[in-house]
Structure 1
Amino acid sequence: MSKNSSYSDSYTREAWERFVSSSEDGDERPPAVRDEILDSWKRSRQLGVAVEGPASHKILDENQLYLRRERNAALRQAASAAFKRLEPHLTEARTILILADDQGVIIDAIGDEEVLDEGQGIHLEIGGDWNENIIGTNGIGTVLKTGKPTYVHASEHFVAGVQSWTCAGAPIYDPLTQAIIGVVDLSGPPQIFRQHNVALVLATAREIEIALAEQRQVERTQLLEAFIMSNHSRAHDSVILVDQTGRVLFRRGLETDVLRRTKELSVGHKLLPKLEGLSDQEIPNFLPLSIETQGIERLNLEGVFRGVAVFLKDGAKLQKGPNEAYKIKPRINVSEVQSQIVGSSPKMVDAISLAERAAMANVSVLIHGETGVGKELFARLIHSQLPGAAAPYVPVNCAAISSDLIGAELFGYVDGAFTGAARGGRAGKFELANKGVLCLDEVGDMPIELQPYLLRALEQRAIYRVGDSQRRPVDVRLVAMTNRNLRTEIEKGNFRRDLFYRISLMTIEVPPLRERGNDILELVHHFSEHFSEQTGQPPMVFTDKVLELLAGYQWPGNVRELRNVMHRFYLIKTDNVVTERDLPPEILDDFENDDEDALEHILRGHSGDLESIEASAIRRTIISENGNLTKVAHVLGISRPTLYRKMKRYHIRKN
């Protein structure tokens, strides 16, 4: 590949003239022309693109153009915020920003009015077709052909009529299928040419992908809510949920081999045409012949049509039963037992499905959830799906390392980099995680001054050890975890917006235990069996009242707190029957005796989870102070805003 990144218009034009005047490609590669441009020229010639063409083609049928823009309504909506943010900076810059669909047809354009007018002369406008098959080498069509961001400047264009323009384009990927669904392009006269224009369109494309992912997640959540509230959500094992546009957004009860044979059932695949106007009787006619249905139900939420549930015949059985744990194999060369994710609630199934897709998509993932929900199990799930049994898994707790050392911990250091550095230097976590997963726990606690280096490492897929100038390539899958609201941290100035966009291309929300319904009782029996086997004791028997109290408790410490409660039973019980008397006080909420307000009582017989101890202390103080929150804050030694925040976190009401 040519290493010459500089551009000379005279050399490029001379190379272009020689190329278009010859009838054969030849083996010689002009040093003035980049490889990707020369390859595109060859494709253009093979396709029979007219070199002397004055302009591209345009869709003249207004109805056809309207339907095309409607078909890409989700893409246009996702791009609207980024375009609106950039528009004020383009009006005086002789520049226009363009959104094209997956066929290279322009569906939106903003920017300098004069340049927009000039663009009409070559059909660089809404409706213009800039597929490489039509107009040859250009910043839209060539990106679609290669799938890579690129710039095409002046004489690098294949068609002479557009060589008075420069453009830079980047592909936009569907967050579900990872297929290219469009291109964002920056165009204008040659004077605006900068190679780093590619970085701008690449950042814009990623911002659009983030917006698309959030949009899809909202649609998916609404569709799931409509399904849960329907009459048949539990009546069928195997079901596919399809949104209004005909896309598969959720599936349940399908074995892996069934999915392998029936690619149409993949999440994100357009299984059906737009559902508006189709009757329940018509919809099955559009399904592939390989799919046999038991019925179809229209799904509405708050009076709005959200999609349909397609119930499949019994041939596609549940991959995991409602009480069966999702098993994660132990890591190679690590002394550990098999891990499990227990739960069949819709939110949990949704989170597991997202984690599986994230592993296949090879993108950075942000796992968000309260303390104790089991975020690391989801990181382990992603790791377990990677090809190759020896892929490393390297966890780092950003909150447990001092701000002075976290840079050396992540990126490593060379001999003599700082006082106390090990002789010979040391590899950092990035290098140790090469070809595997780097799991950053509590990423919201990463020092703000270190975040640009993390961002650079992710963008460049390379690191520099502390005190070293040598570039070290790394191939790392990043999984970041946090219990903080990073958007709030961005507004506070504690977290970089660009880093947030980079690490959260796919976000997995792990639901708190209180929102998982019957999963609580599934976990009770799971942990009971685990500790019975571990201690050699017979399994505990729980009274109906105990199960009712456990199911109704808010679990501020989530799964970790529940696990501690179950462990406590096996440590202190002399028999195997658990009654109300054996439950920790925070579950019973028994505050009849004034002497039980002491910290010693709160700690005695407690599950040991700090969150539940704190929640219990707040509840007791509220009762003892008759709901006077000013006094409660004073007694606890915290400010009123902190008290309100903790009450909200632990779902504590004033009364």
Structure 2
Amino acid sequence: MKREIGPNQMKIDALPARASAAAGQMLLGNIDYDERATMRAWEDFLADEPKCARDPIHPSSVRSLIHESWYRSVTGGINAQGIEAPLSSDRDEIEYLTRANAELLSAARRSFASLGQLLDRTGAMLVLADSDGVLIDAIGDKKTLHDGMDIHLAIGGKWNEGAVGTNGIGTALWTGEPTFVHAAEHFCAGIKSWTCAGAPIRDPLDGKIIGVVDLSGYSPIFRPHNTALVAATARQIEKALAEQQQEQRTRLLEAFISSAPSYRRKDGLVIVDHRGRAIFCKNVPDGETSEMMDGPMEPGRGRWLMNLPSSGSDADLAKALPAHLRSCHITPLKLDGDLRGAALVFPPVPAASSVAVVHRKVDKHLQDAVAMIVGESEALQAAIDIACRVARSGSVTSLLVEGETGTGKELFARLVHAGSRRTANDPFIAMNCGAITRDLFGSELFGHVAGAFTGASREGKPGVFELANGGVLSLDEIGELPLEIQPFLLRVLEERVVNRIGDSRGRPVDVRLVASTNRDLKQEVAAGRFRRDLYYRIGAVSITVPPLRERGEDVLLLIEHFNRQIATVAGEDPLEFSHKALEALLAYHWPGNVRELKNLVGRLHILARGGTVELQDLPGEISAGNRTIHSDHPAAMLEAPVCTFEDAECQAIKNALAAEGGNLSKVALRLGISRPTLYRKLGQYGIRRGFL
């Protein structure tokens, strides 16, 4: 027997004429939305709650995301006849919410200010909620803001699923993805005349959801791109948060330099922010910070280490330290008179770096593979360190290597192979997914039996998984893998059994997978071109190979390496490079990365005049970056390399830093800008002071 429809449900069926077009048949994402069919599904769902709880199979007229949320709402005890969200009107509680979310509100201020005026008379309002779904800001159309009060869609209203069931804010918090909920898709009857699209906001430091931005209004405002709008706004807020965090990090480093004159460069140092998260780590073994694994895989950075006491006294700070950090000396760091972080200084570690420790422990095969990766930059050494750990681990069976084309990603696959070899015959199989036609992917990966398809080998053929059994399989450009093949790859990785095409017999395989890509797989997942579950499976541990332009003087090491290598093969003496030529090579952007540099050195061995490479021997795009014009003649000025205002500004900041010895107060005064502006510029151009 069906439950009676309450008075609030009757209002839904009697929507005003102006809303009937939007409330009827419309396209929501990839499905047709039908108001009456969705209402019937909701009524049937509520009429048979016990069955729904046992067998939550969703009807075809309702999206699975919505039906799953209805199921959570029912099992969570939400009143389906509810007409509003819980609301806190206590002034002290609202003030506390404002203080607790000050950073989020500050980061959202610019986006909300620019969108607020545009939403006037549109029937839409934009709201900001915290991590618990409580609204902390709202702007937009005045009438809609007023009407929102009727359902408590206002500051202090609590809109997580546990409070009001299915809705754009709460469901976005639950799924962690941009989400829209339209009209009858809401769980509570009193809000079924509204439409909303919410997108979660993540902390740039640790990736945790800290809030939601949501666009709401009566159902006629629905457009498919509402979700894209709030997702873009969320990204803008995250960018502003990252800038705020970078500024605070710079200021805390400056505060530490001022308060710790006895700090030695070999000391271990961790700086935590006001939430007790590590924002800077130097010379600290991963073991010192690894007991609390809330943060990302990157050693130390972003992990929560401690709760900072409100007083900030040395005694209270020492008591707040976890037991495994008691060996350090802790110093409070204050900004504008308030405690905003702390510095943890450890005794000098015995090794120069964690990578050096790895080098002493690994066998000769791994040492040889590490030696093939030329470079001493911090980012590269961090990537080598993680790859060495994966190579020596018996439990990690896959590694994702990300980086631009030409950075040397395959070397990391060979490093993993060298470090995990049990016998001299363990195979290393490499396959470039970008070089395989769509029709042959299945056969190349999994193999086939005789006669499995037209053109199949008469004897059958093993795939690369079988060929790599007992060793390492390197899948380059995995982002090119067709979507229809990805579930089969995931199954092989999960079950460690491969079925050849046309064969029902499973063949066990023991393979370590190293997948590499020059694409942003997170964007590919968001665009629906790469399966989310496969991404999480292959990317449980990932490294990013830095582009050559971010590796500093590694350029000189690579020039020397390739120079000697090519000279040895050719039976010639290595080339000499003039000072100006080396300066130009260091300043060049290297869009082709290490591969481009290697090809250039090979070209110079053929074309350079004499045994010394001069500036004029370099290609024009490289030598032009270092050319200076000494003539005041207009023709000479036209030949001068043109730089952007940003380039000039960046160089001016670097010059001022050098002139003032890194004192940011004096640098700001010298440049005629405020300190906050200087902090923002340092983050914008990626300029780091060389004191820590």
- What CA distance in whole angstroms lies between the structure 2 residues aligned with 1:640 and 1:613? 11
- What CA distance in whole angstroms lies between the structure 2 residues aligned with 1:77 and 1:380? 44
State whether structure 2 residue 197 is matched by structure 1 residue 168.
Answer: yes
- What CA distance in whole angstroms lies between the structure 2 residues aligned with 1:189 and 1:171? 21
Identify the residue that residue 488 of structure 1 maps to in structure 2.
Answer: none
Q: Could you give the per-residue CA deviations for residues 455-509 of structure 1, whole angstroms, max 9, x where no partner exists? A: 996752439xxxxxxxx999889xxxxxxxxxxxxxxxxxxxxxxxxxxxx9989
Identify the residue that residue 425 of structure 2 maps to in structure 1.
Answer: none
Identify the residue that residue 18 of structure 1 maps to in structure 2.
Answer: 44
State whether structure 2 residue 323 is matched by structure 1 residue 292.
Answer: no
Identify the residue that residue 417 of structure 1 maps to in structure 2.
Answer: none
Q: Secondary structure at the match of 2:204?
A: coil
> Residues 15-164 of structure 1 correspond to what in structure 2 (within 5 A)?
15-26=41-52, 27=55, 29-164=58-193
State whether structure 2 residue 336 is matched by structure 1 residue 312.
Answer: no
Q: Is the 8 A contact 2:270 2:344 kept in 1?
A: yes
Q: Is the 8 A contact 1:366 1:507 kept in 2?
A: yes
Q: Secondary structure at the match of 2:31?
A: coil
Q: Secondary structure at the match of 1:64?
A: helix
State whether structure 2 residue 533 is matched by structure 1 residue 439.
Answer: no
Q: Report the AA paired with residue 587 of structure 2.
A: P
- What CA distance in whole angstroms lies between the structure 1 residues aligned with 2:110 and 2:214? 16
Q: Is the 8 A contact 1:176 1:268 kept in 2?
A: yes
Identify the residue that residue 447 of structure 2 maps to in structure 1.
Answer: none
Identify the residue that residue 179 of structure 1 maps to in structure 2.
Answer: 208
- What CA distance in whole angstroms lies between the structure 1 residues aligned with 2:184 and 2:70? 11
Q: Is the 8 A contact 1:226 1:299 kept in 2?
A: yes
State whether structure 2 residue 373 is matched by structure 1 residue 339.
Answer: yes
- What CA distance in whole angstroms lies between the structure 2 residues aligned with 1:644 and 1:603? 35
Residue-pair matches, total: 512
Identify the residue that residue 241 of structure 2 maps to in structure 1.
Answer: 212
Identify the residue that residue 249 of structure 1 maps to in structure 2.
Answer: 279
State whether structure 2 residue 644 is matched by structure 1 residue 618.
Answer: no
Q: Is the 8 A contact 1:169 1:184 kept in 2?
A: yes
- Following superposition, the deviation at residue 123 of structure 1 comes to 1.1
- Following superposition, the deviation at residue 299 of structure 1 comes to 4.8
> Residues 542-557 of structure 1 correspond to what in structure 2 (within 5 A)?
555-557=586-588
- What CA distance in whole angstroms lies between the structure 2 residues aligned with 1:302 and 1:254? 29
Q: Is the 8 A contact 1:602 1:613 kept in 2?
A: no
- What CA distance in whole angstroms lies between the structure 2 residues aligned with 1:212 and 1:70? 16
Q: Secondary structure at the match of 1:50?
A: coil
> Residues 509-588 of structure 1 correspond to what in structure 2 (within 5 A)?
531=564, 555-557=586-588
- Following superposition, the deviation at residue 126 of structure 1 comes to 1.0
Write 1 or 2 for the structure with the bigger share of helix: 2
- What CA distance in whole angstroms lies between the structure 2 residues aligned with 1:36 and 1:159? 16
Q: Could you give the per-residue CA deviations for residues 163-183 of structure 1, whole angstroms, max 9, x where no partner exists? A: 222212122222232222221
Identify the residue that residue 462 of structure 1 maps to in structure 2.
Answer: 529
Q: Report the AA paired with residue 246 of structure 1.
A: G
- Following superposition, the deviation at residue 134 of structure 1 comes to 1.1
- Following superposition, the deviation at residue 122 of structure 1 comes to 1.4
- What CA distance in whole angstroms lies between the structure 2 residues aligned with 1:49 and 1:643? 58
- What CA distance in whole angstroms lies between the structure 2 residues aligned with 1:84 and 1:380? 49
Q: Report the AA paired with residue 323 of structure 2.
A: L
In percent, how many aligned pairs have the same letter? 30
Q: Report the AA paired with residue 321 of structure 2.
A: L
Identify the residue that residue 418 of structure 1 maps to in structure 2.
Answer: none
- What CA distance in whole angstroms lies between the structure 1 residues aligned with 2:523 and 2:644? 39
- What CA distance in whole angstroms lies between the structure 2 residues aligned with 1:235 and 1:111? 52
Segments of 5+ residues of structure 1 without an aligned counterpart are 357-361, 368-373, 396-408, 415-423, 444-453, 464-471, 478-505, 541-545, 572-598
- What CA distance in whole angstroms lies between the structure 2 residues aligned with 1:202 and 1:251? 32
- What CA distance in whole angstroms lies between the structure 2 residues aligned with 1:455 and 1:615? 37
Q: Is the 8 A contact 1:292 1:313 kept in 2?
A: no
Q: Secondary structure at the match of 1:25?
A: helix
Q: Report the AA paired with residue 439 of structure 1.
A: N
Measured at CA, do residues 412 and 648 of structure 1 come closer, stay the same or move farther in structure 2, by a change above 3 Å? farther
Identify the residue that residue 270 of structure 2 maps to in structure 1.
Answer: 240
Q: Report the AA paired with residue 59 of structure 1.
A: S
- What CA distance in whole angstroms lies between the structure 2 residues aligned with 1:290 and 1:97? 45
Q: Is the 8 A contact 2:401 2:409 kept in 1?
A: no
Q: Report the AA paired with residue 529 of structure 2.
A: A
Segments of 5+ residues of structure 2 without an aligned counterpart are 1-27, 389-398, 421-427, 441-454, 456-475, 487-514, 537-543, 656-692
Q: Is the 8 A contact 2:615 2:623 kept in 1?
A: no
Q: Is the 8 A contact 1:392 1:437 kept in 2?
A: no
Q: Report the AA paired with residue 85 of structure 1.
A: S
Q: Is the 8 A contact 1:55 1:121 kept in 2?
A: yes
Q: Secondary structure at the match of 2:341?
A: strand
- Following superposition, the deviation at residue 255 of structure 1 comes to 3.6
Q: Report the AA paired with residue 80 of structure 1.
A: R
- What CA distance in whole angstroms lies between the structure 2 residues aligned with 1:247 and 1:232? 24
Measured at CA, do residues 206 and 66 of structure 1 come closer, stay the same or move farther in structure 2, by a change above 3 Å? same
- What CA distance in whole angstroms lies between the structure 2 residues aligned with 1:203 and 1:353? 35
Q: Report the AA paired with residue 177 of structure 2.
A: K
Q: Secondary structure at the match of 1:310?
A: strand
- Following superposition, the deviation at residue 142 of structure 1 comes to 1.6
- Following superposition, the deviation at residue 45 of structure 1 comes to 1.7
Q: Is the 8 A contact 2:98 2:136 kept in 1?
A: yes
Q: Secondary structure at the match of 1:183?
A: strand
Q: Is the 8 A contact 1:255 1:316 kept in 2?
A: no
- What CA distance in whole angstroms lies between the structure 1 residues aligned with 2:255 and 2:406? 27
- Following superposition, the deviation at residue 109 of structure 1 comes to 1.2
- What CA distance in whole angstroms lies between the structure 1 residues aligned with 2:634 and 2:338? 44
- Following superposition, the deviation at residue 85 of structure 1 comes to 2.9
Q: Is the 8 A contact 1:341 1:377 kept in 2?
A: no
RMSD value, Cα: 6.1
> Residues 382-393 of structure 1 correspond to what in structure 2 (within 5 A)?
none
Q: Is the 8 A contact 1:12 1:33 kept in 2?
A: yes
- What CA distance in whole angstroms lies between the structure 2 residues aligned with 1:534 and 1:602? 11
Q: Report the AA paired with residue 25 of structure 1.
A: K
- Following superposition, the deviation at residue 273 of structure 1 comes to 4.0
Q: Is the 8 A contact 2:588 2:625 kept in 1?
A: no
> Residues 347-496 of structure 1 correspond to what in structure 2 (within 5 A)?
376=407, 431=480, 436-439=515-518, 459-462=526-529
Q: Report the AA paired with residue 354 of structure 2.
A: Q
Measured at CA, do residues 99 and 59 of structure 1 come closer, stay the same or move farther in structure 2, by a change above 3 Å? same
- Following superposition, the deviation at residue 33 of structure 1 comes to 2.3
- What CA distance in whole angstroms lies between the structure 1 residues aligned with 2:375 and 2:83? 61
Q: Secondary structure at the match of 1:100?
A: strand
Q: Secondary structure at the match of 2:345?
A: strand
Q: Secondary structure at the match of 2:147?
A: helix
- What CA distance in whole angstroms lies between the structure 1 residues aligned with 2:624 and 2:650? 9
Q: Is the 8 A contact 2:328 2:346 kept in 1?
A: yes
Equivalent of 1:283 in 317, 333, 350? 317
Q: Secondary structure at the match of 1:158?
A: coil
- Following superposition, the deviation at residue 43 of structure 1 comes to 1.4
| Most deviating of 116-125 and 263-272 | 263-272
What is the TM-score when the length of structure 2 is the normalising length?
Answer: 0.57
Q: Secondary structure at the match of 2:325?
A: coil
Q: Secondary structure at the match of 2:627?
A: helix
- What CA distance in whole angstroms lies between the structure 2 residues aligned with 1:473 and 1:245? 31
- What CA distance in whole angstroms lies between the structure 1 residues aligned with 2:186 and 2:645? 62
Q: Could you give the per-residue CA deviations for residues 276-314 of structure 1, whole angstroms, max 9, x where no partner exists? A: 641233223222222223212345799997632212356
Equivalent of 1:191 in 202, 216, 220? 220
- Following superposition, the deviation at residue 36 of structure 1 comes to 1.9
Q: Could you give the per-residue CA deviations for residues 311-336 of structure 1, whole angstroms, max 9, x where no partner exists? A: 235689641359999x9x999xxx99
Identify the residue that residue 11 of structure 2 maps to in structure 1.
Answer: none
